[in-house]
Structure 1
Amino acid sequence: MNALVRREAHGTSLWHAVSRSRRERPALQGEIDVDLAIVGGGFSGLSTALHAAGKGLSVAVLEAEFIAWGATGRNAGFVVPNFAKMDPDDILAHLGSERGERLIDFAVGSADLVFDLIRRHGINCDALQNGWIQPAHSLAAFEKVKSRAGQWALRGRPTVTLNRQEVEALTGARGYAGGWMDRSGGVLNPVEYARGLAGAAEKAGARIFEHSPVASIDRTAEGWTLKTPSGSVHAAKVLIATNAYGGPLNPSLQRTYFPLKVFQIATAPLPRETRTRLLPGGQGVGDTRRNLFTFRFDAENRLISGGMHILGAAADTRVPQAIWRRLGRHLDLPDLPPLAYSWSGMAAVEPDFLPHLIDLGPGLIAGRACNGRGIAMTTAMGKVLADWAAGTDARDLPLPFAPPAPIPFHAVLRHAPNVLLGWSMLRDRLDG
């Protein structure tokens, strides 16, 4: 196999390259007054804008670059309605019965919300709600996913446990001990989805400004003032929805999560005869390995996968090639088409891998709901944050809400996910 990648595509996400609905929005000029100002034009900010404007609030979204520039346009397009590390029983033990059940209910309908918005607003983003599959890479992992499927089934989710043969038939991947599927999950083009949310928010009355980086957020008697290079916004409430792309806007936020650089690749389109063996139903796949193995197809039969990297030089070249080789090996594709696109993005990972709302002052909140489940969770977070913007006490929302909790020794520990990846890969091999 030869992992040649077109140099002009290196660093450009597949979704930005193939999407055609891009339109320029103006930068903020002058002063405006709104009920809610949102910093960041990704899934969480746009979903909040859409739902808040739908409640009759005046809303302004300030995006430093352009819509879907950050992690929103750099992910793989999986819609996954559960948490990366915690199952319902774990959440109840972690948060208690009342808070835990509310957070579980929040996640239960998250994927359905995404696909309902797509249908309701006519968003053309190659959406397919055929399920999300998690194969188990070992017998121990299979026991765990059987429990996981059962716990979500008790909450009304359309889950099913899969044996070894069923995993192979659904995915085309051999060697798994079994797995499970949530039929409410799926895949989409994240850039087109974000642009569709932006258009729907504007139709509802929200104003979206691109190329408008926020330099400061200052408390006033009436609320907050946000300043950009060419204007300012006076708002009663403010949401910081930048996830891992906030920069120096609020240094205390940067110490509350682990920044994780994730690489994605897309091959050239696969031949039809190969495509019919792999994922004939078009689902998304993310297995139970610590060094997570994912794959899916886009609308043009390009095979997409992702991964992390151990700290080292030339990662932008080395890691995509390693992911491409892994893809061919795990899917038994000696003639895997060459790389067509490779790109990377930053994810914000909470210590407990759960969504959080961070209290930064009266009427000022930061929201983070990614942890590898960005599309479903951030869309759902936007809906509940619209309730907060309309007057609901943040403590009554289903997401954990607290002041910033800096991670001790963050300057060192922020590198832990990458440093420990080699050990995780070894443990995966020992499990197998």
Structure 2
Amino acid sequence: MTDQIFRIPPYALTALCAPQAGPLRGSLRVDVALVGAGFSGCIAALELSRRGLSVALIEAGEVGQGGSGRNHGQCIPVFGYLDETQLPPAGFALLRDAGRLVFDQIAELGIACDPVQKGWLQAAHSAKGLERARATHARYAALGKADAFLDPEEIAALSGVSGTFGGWLHRDGGHLNPLAYVRGLARAAQAAGARLHTRTPVTGLRRGRDGAWTLATPEGEITARKVGLATNAYGMGAVPARMRASLVPMTSYAIASAPLQPHQRAAVLPSGVNFSDTRRDPMFFRVDATGRIITGGLVELRRGRWTAPTVAEQGARLARRFPELQGLVWTHHWTGTVGISARQRPAIFELEEGLWGLLGYSGRGVPTSAVLGRAFAATLTDPAEGARLWPADPPARIPAGRLIGLAVQSLRGPVNKLRDRLS
């Protein structure tokens, strides 16, 4: 059911106001210029400033206007690229602890973003799903991130969902208000000495004979020894085509309900966990600090694109798990862009001498940025130091990435629904 549907996230309703910043006017000379004030750009600016470097952080719109303020707000520290054979030991350890890093930094900086770290719960919906869940659990239990495998009754106690085959809990998972989180990171970067300028798109980018880079903006320019591009799938304008050609952009959607009634809130995820199941067409959701259910996925031909069928389908899926949610009212429906790299893992790479890019979170931006923001700062300080945290390897170019993204989004939903029916 819908009343009035807002096409923006509800996060600004409870987030502290944006940090004081405005367009760059005039000339500025710094050690490092960072483009993109999302999670990664803000964390890198904070880390570089703490190292004593002068930093300019610029954002074409407002802080959190891109993916960092439009995602689902889930911190799910489970990664296909958590691979000790592909990552340096220090980087592997950071990624393993990415969920803890997020919430530890929130506590350290005192960011008011409604953080809840009660874990990420994966419930097996079938016998085959149980096999997959047990395999994933075994891997993360060996890393010290999960306790014993849970039986159906324990899943029901944590989530309120009955009829599962069991599951497991990643103890470092959780959720937060992502807009409030990125605004808090930006404030912390400012407090550490970084110069933040919003509404400052890059209109030109050139390297001088002395090796320094100049970033032209509508009302000024920045000269820097090194430049870090942290725009991910939101790179526009003067961001090099090499960055844009390294991603398959896909559109994600999210919907948020009206705040639950007390009896509904008591039934839905009473322990505060994030929920996901093992379906190929997964159902994942959380309940935020105001009692809203937030769920979503990739935009398909109908689901995610059009509000009425989206809330009807997702509302029915939730009501099958929680009868208390029959007739749930939905108030918000919004979209964002996800950047998928060829290796489906983030990449740090040098486009030209002193010009570095960071991209490719593939839907795990909250926990992964806690690692990659640090690795990016280390790389911009000293590439050899950065390589000890994350490999500096250019991602493959992806011809016709936008067309590939549209094709995958159109086919993925129906194919996964069919696979679920056949399994």
* TM-score category, normalised to shorter length: over 0.9
Moved more, 256-265 or 393-402: 393-402
Match of 2:24 in 1: 28
Deviation at 1:401, TM superposition (A): 2.3
**CA RMSD across the alignment:** 2.2
Q: 1:162–1:353: structure 2 CA closer, same or farther, 3 Å change rule?
A: farther
Counterpart AA for 2:352: G
Counterpart of 2:212 in structure 1 is 223
Cα deviation for residue 165 of structure 1 reads 2.1
User: Deviation per CA, 1:266-310, whole angstroms, max 9, x where unpaired?
Assistant: 111111122112211111123232323111111111111112232
Using a 3 Å threshold, how does the CA distance of structure 1 residues 342 and 18 change in structure 2: closer, same or farther? farther
Deviates more, 1:216-225 or 1:310-319: 310-319
- 1:126-137 alignment runs, 5 A limit: 126-137=114-125
Q: Which amino acid in 2 is paired with 1:167?
A: I
CA distance in 2, matches of 1:61, 1:420: 39
- C-alpha displacement at 1:314, in angstroms? 9.1
Residue in 1 that maps onto 2:416: 424
Pair 1:355-2:346 in alignment? yes
| 1:48 paired to 2:44 | yes
CA contact (8 A) 1:170 1:281 kept: yes
- Summarize deviations over 1:207-259 as a string: whole Å, max 9, x none: 11000011122122232111110111111111111111112422222222221
The answer to whether the Cα contact below 8 Å between 2:119 and 2:174 also exists between their aligned partners in 1 is yes
1:102 CA displacement: 4.9
Query: 1:287 & 1:253 partners in 2: Cα distance?
Result: 34
Query: How far off its partner does 1:318 sit?
Result: 4.2
AA at the equivalent of 1:151? R
**Aligned CA distance change for structure 1 residues 245 and 166 (closer, same or farther; 3 Å):** same
Match of 2:390 among 381, 388, 399: 399
Q: Give distance in 2, aligned partners of 1:32 and 1:370.
A: 30
Can you give the 5+ residue segments of structure 2 that lack an aligned partner in the other structure?
Answer: none
Cα distance between partner residues in 2 of 1:280 and 1:310: 31
Match of 1:323 in 2: 314
1:162 to 136, 150, 165: 150
Please tell me the residue identity of whatever aligns with 1:26.
G
Q: Which amino acid aligns with 1:131?
A: G
Corresponding position of 1:114: 102
Given that 1:265 and 1:305 are in contact with CA atoms closer than 8 Å, whether structure 2 keeps it comes out as: yes
2:187 maps to what in 1? 199
Name the CA distance, whole Å, in 2 between partners of 1:275 and 1:312: 29
- Of stretches 261-270 and 366-375 in structure 1, the one that deviates more from structure 2 is 366-375
The residue that corresponds to 1:178 in the other structure is: 166
Q: Does 1:211 align with 2:199?
A: yes
Q: Structure 1: which 5+ runs fail to align?
A: none
d(CA) in 2 for partners of 1:426, 1:349: 24
Match of 1:276 among 261, 266, 269: 266
Q: Distance in 1 between matches of 2:304 and 2:169?
A: 36
Q: Are the equivalent residues in 1 in contact too, given 2:302–2:309 (CA < 8 A)? A: no
* Number of residue pairs the alignment of both structures matches: 419
Contact conserved, 2:254 with 2:304, CA < 8 A, in 1?
A: no
Q: Report if aligned partners of 2:34, 2:45 keep a CA contact under 8 Å in 1.
A: yes
CA contact (8 A) 2:259 2:291 kept: yes
Amino acid at match of 1:262: S
Amino acid at match of 1:236: R
* C-alpha contact (below 8 Å) 1:130/1:185 kept by paired residues: yes
How far apart, CA to CA, are the structure 2 residues paired with 1:341 and 1:235?
A: 41
Query: Is 1:235 the equivalent of 2:233?
Result: no
C-alpha distance in 2, partners of 1:24/1:316? Answer: 36
1:140 maps to which of 128, 135, 158 = 128
Q: Which residue of 1 aligns with 2:176?
A: 188
Matched-pair contact (CA < 8 Å) for 2:296–2:304: no
Provide the C-alpha distance between the structure 2 equivalents of 1:159 and 1:192, rounded to a whole number of angstroms.
Answer: 31
Shift of 1:261: 0.9
Structure 1 counterpart of 2:331, from 334, 340, 348: 340
Runs of 4+ in 1 over 4 A off after TM superposition: 100-103
SS in 2 for 1:233: strand
Mark the CA change 1:187 to 1:276 in structure 2 (over 3 Å): closer, same or farther: same
* Structure 1 position 426, deviation (Å): 1.4
**Under a length normalisation based on structure 2, what TM-score does the superposition of the two structures give?**
0.92
CA distance in 1, matches of 2:86, 2:307: 47
* TM superposition shift of 1:329: 3.2
User: Which amino acid counterpart does residue 419 of structure 2 have in structure 1?
Assistant: R
The aligned residue for residue 266 of structure 1 is 256
Distance in 2, Cα, partners of 1:168 & 1:74: 30
Question: In structure 1, what is the Cα distance between the partners aligned to 2:156 and 2:112?
Answer: 31
Give the % identical residues: 34
Q: Residue 74 of structure 1 corresponds to which residue in structure 2?
A: 70
1:169-198 residue CA offsets vs partner (Å, 9 max, x unmatched)? 211123332222111111111111111111
- Which residue identity lines up with residue 328 of structure 1 in the other structure? A
CA distance, structure 1, for counterparts of residue 346 and residue 12 of structure 2 = 27
The answer to which of 223-232 and 385-394 deviates more is 385-394
Instruction: Indicate whether 1:308 and 2:298 are aligned.
Output: yes
